[in-house]
Structure 1
Amino acid sequence: MKAKVKGGVLLFLTFVGLGYLTGLTGIVAAAPKYAPEVDRQPALVYNAGLKTADQASAGSEVQQTAAKEPSATDASKMDTEIFSTRGCIQCHTISALKVVGGATGPDLSGAFKNVPNKYGKPLSEFLQQPEGVMAEVLPTKNVTDKEKEQIVELLTKAADQQEDPGSTL
């Protein structure tokens, strides 16, 4: 008899608990009725196989040393520093300019010619209105219009370097 009473009490408490949580509507009262705001950038970075800024800065000393090695001349190094300061090298390399970076994104040496073929607009316009993964990444980098012009000039040089590998910057 005691087992039946315990079972009945347990069943009663279960229904009381469910009734409290669901009320008369059948909707669980403890669940939020709105979708909480979520920062999508970490998920996009993870899904694209990229590293966050914190992970990239905590990279191995070998990668940091390779990124700090001087390129062809001091002047060209200063020109290409924009790729470091704006975080481009976290994902991209620009081999024609001897800029060492990540391998997740494509080598930007051919971007000046590849972007119009892939996106149907020139590189300068693409940097103003990016598409694909860059539509999520580029706005977070706060690149000024002047810096975008500098990037276009450098990637134009890189495309020329690719065509004529014997020339230097």
Structure 2
Amino acid sequence: MNKPIIHFIISALLGLGIGYIAFDVIPGNDGQGQEATTGNESSKPAETAKEEKKSTETTSAAAGEENILQAKGCLGCHSVEALNLTGGATGPDLSDAFTNVEGKHGKAIEEFLKEPTSAVMSGVIGGNPLTEEEINQVVKMLKDASEK
């Protein structure tokens, strides 16, 4: 066979294998957190349940509004715990991204979102680039998250 075809097949198989491991074999927090919450709700005092309901409503209001992180699919891989936005477990939590990106990637967050230096993010953003307005919205949300 032709060498490039063999390389392509091997790369595809490795990618599928890594995807299988990341998404099927390694359990995330999503399922565990929901089961624990569902099992404990009935045994909580009324005050605690009311406080949690308020917290959930606040989170739902923030999460219910179509924010930029949801609209662009960021929450498919990332969470922003500081803003009570739960997402995927594949990528790191973005609560401190506003302050950490420059040290980790050598660029200010605005520049990183225009031209990411990580291989994964360059593939993600390269296929669906952010507009200037979207970058400003993401930066504002991440700045708010870092201040909490």
Structure 2-normalised TM-score?
A: 0.61
Deviation (angstroms), 1:152: 0.4
Alignment counterpart, residue 100 of structure 2, candidates 107, 114, 120: 114
Between Structure 1 and Structure 2, which shows a larger proportion of helix residues? 2
CA RMSD between the two structures: 3.4
Where does 1:15-164 land on structure 2 (aligned, <5 Å)? Answer: 31-32=1-2, 35-36=4-5, 47=18, 71-72=58-59, 74=61, 76-77=62-63, 81-132=67-118, 133-161=120-148
Cα deviation, residue 135, structure 1: 1.6
How has the CA–CA distance of structure 1 residues 153 and 103 changed in structure 2, closer, same or farther, with 3 Å as cutoff? Answer: same
Q: 1:65 corresponds to which residue?
A: none
The letter of the residue matching 1:146 is E
Following superposition, the deviation at residue 77 of structure 1 comes to 3.9
Structure 1 distance, partners of 2:13, 2:125, is 14
Measure, in 2, the Cα distance between the counterparts of 1:47 and 1:155. Answer: 29
Tell me, yes or no, if the aligned pair for 1:80 and 1:99 is still in contact at 8 Å.
no
Taking a change above 3 Å as real, the CA distance of residues 80 and 134 of structure 1, as seen in their structure-2 partners, is: same
* Distance apart, 1:87 and its partner CA: 1.3
Contact 1:90 1:101 in 2 (8 A): yes
Deviations 1:27-86 (A, max 9, x none): xxxx34x734959799658637655xxxxxxx98x6xxxxxx754474x44666221221
Structure 1 gaps of 5+ residues are 1-30, 52-58, 63-68, 162-169
Q: Which has the larger radius of gyration?
A: 1
Q: Distance in 2 between matches of 1:131 and 1:155?
A: 18
Q: State how far apart, in whole Å, the 2-side matches of 1:156 and 1:103 are.
A: 21
Identical aligned residues as a percent = 31
